[in-house]
């Protein structure tokens, strides 16, 4: 009982994997670009959680450094994504991805 209540690396990794799955399913299933962007953030944050947990477990700071870089890149990625979204909205007055498709996928 005591062992399972003690939060260890495995707990973090399982949580991060669940977050990752929620994010990936969100990107694939949701049809609204804004929700897709939110799901993307979930994926990147699940990675950060992983990195920090492993960094703590390994007693090595590189993982946390990586997480800081990844947060910065996530911000850049969101900016580019929103920029493309704004262009989409100006063209078609929608953020729904289904209405933005004309090339046969």
Partner 1 sequence: MPQIPLRDFLYLLPEIFLLTAGLLLLLSSSVGRGLGSRAATLFSLATLAATAVMVVWVAQDAPPGLLLAGMYVLDDYALYWKLLLLLATGLTVVLSCRFVEESGYRAGEFFSLLLTAATGMLLMAGGANLLSIWLSLELMALSSYVLAGYFKHETRSNEAALKYFILGALSSGVMLYGMSLLYGAAGSLGLAEIAAALPAAARTMPLVIGLGWLMLAIGLFFKVAAVPFHVWTPDVYVGAPTPVTAFLAAGSKAASFAILVRIFYTALPGLALDWQIITAAVAAVTMIWGNLAALTQTNVKRMLAYSSIAHAGYVLMGVLAMSDDGQWAVLFYLLAYVLITLGAFGTVILLERREYAGETYEDYAGLARRAPLLAAMMLLFMLALTGIPPTGGFFGKIYLFAAAVEAGWTWVAVIGVLTSALSLYYYLGIVVQMYLKDSDDVTPRPLEARGLVAAIGFCALATLLLGLVPGPLVELAKASVLPLP
Which CB sits closer to partner 1, 4 or 77? Answer: 77
| Closest among 3, 39, 5 to 23, alpha carbons compared | 39
98 secondary structure, DSSP code: G
The residue within the footprint of partner 1, chosen from 22, 35, 38, 97 (CB under 8 A), is 97
| Closest among 86, 92, 94 to 31, alpha carbons compared | 94
Alpha carbon distance, N-terminus to C-terminus of the chain: 52
The residue within the footprint of partner 1, chosen from 18, 65, 71, 75 (CB under 8 A), is 65
61 secondary structure, DSSP code: T
Applying CB under 8 A, the residues found at the interface with partner 1 are 9, 13, 16, 20, 23-24, 27-28, 33, 36, 40, 43-44, 46-47, 50-51, 53-54, 57-58, 60-63, 65-66, 69-70, 73, 76-77, 80-81, 83-85, 87-88, 90-92, 97, 100-105
């Amino acid at each position: 009982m005591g062992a399972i209540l003690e939060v260890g690396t495995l707990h973090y990794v399982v949580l991060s994997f669940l977050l990752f799955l929620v994010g990936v399913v969100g990107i694939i299933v949701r049809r609204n670009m804004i929700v897709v962007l939110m799901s993307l953030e979930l994926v990147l944050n699940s990675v950060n959680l992983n990195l920090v947990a492993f960094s703590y477990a390994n007693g090595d700071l590189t993982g946390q450094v990586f997480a800081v870089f990844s947060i910065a890149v996530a911000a850049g990625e969101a900016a580019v994504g929103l920029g493309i979204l704004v262009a989409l909205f100006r063209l078609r007055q929608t953020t729904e991805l289904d209405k933005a498709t004309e090339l046969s996928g």
